[in-house]
Amino acid sequence: MRSKSIDTMKKIKTFAEEYYMLHYQSPSMAQIAENIGIARSTAYKYLIEMDHRGMISYDGKKIRTEIIDHSNPKMIRAAVLGNIACGLPNVAEENIEEYVSLPESLFGRGEFYILRARGESMIEAGIEDGDLVVIRKQSYANDGDIIVALVEEEATLKKMYREENGRIILHPENKDMSDIVVDNCIIQGIAVKVIKDLN
């Protein structure tokens, strides 16, 4: 490579930063080459030259820039555990399907897991069949929280209210469905976010 284009260097840097913001990792050499329209070997030579000039920091694997260093999020690992009934209580499947990383800045601190909603009892709360519900694991909840309630070894996702007599109302967010009233239940967590099923 006889001369290195400053414009190409800027494009590589911008692409690496934008890619990191979306995926929280550096793009591969093949991805850089394809996006910029250069050969992989050329992309590698550019990265070495950009590192030499101080435009980026490149260790042969990761690309770092000032923007990337200042936007590095703390990530939380959460297991996708299967289905939760949004209808009548149902046994929750606790087979781990996969792990996903959640940015702490969006979800807060704590221990999290993810359940796939099944049924239509929470549709008026914006939780539809197939959506992923991010649950913060905790054993307490306030009135109006959407909780994972374990009732006689069956789990369901409902909005919770307490009556003055101590009984618990598990309220579906669907006007066509009735409340479930129980003497007690085990709270396994509260819903903090819904990730919509776009399929």
Domain boundaries, the chain: 6-70, 75-195
- Out of 121, 139, 178, 196, the active site residue is 121
Instruction: Mark the ranges of the chain whose per-residue pLDDT is less than 70.
Output: 1-3, 72-73, 86-95, 198-199
Q: What is the pLDDT of residue 41?
A: 94
- Out of 28, 158, 178, 196, the active site residue is 158
Q: What is the pLDDT of residues 6-62, one digit of tens each?
A: 999 999 999 998 888 777 789 999 999 999 999 999 999 999 999 999 999 999 889
Domain 6-70: give its CATH code.
1.10.10.10
Q: What is the pLDDT of residue 95?
A: 65
pTM: 0.61
Q: For residues 132 and 185, what is the distance between their CA atoms, to the nearest angstrom?
A: 23
Q: What is the pLDDT of residue 1?
A: 47
Tell me the C-alpha to C-alpha distance, in Å, between residue 181 and each of 18, 92, 164: 50, 20, 13
Domain 75-195, CATH number (from 2.40.50.100, 2.10.109.10, 3.40.930.10, 3.50.50.60): 2.10.109.10
121 is catalytic: yes
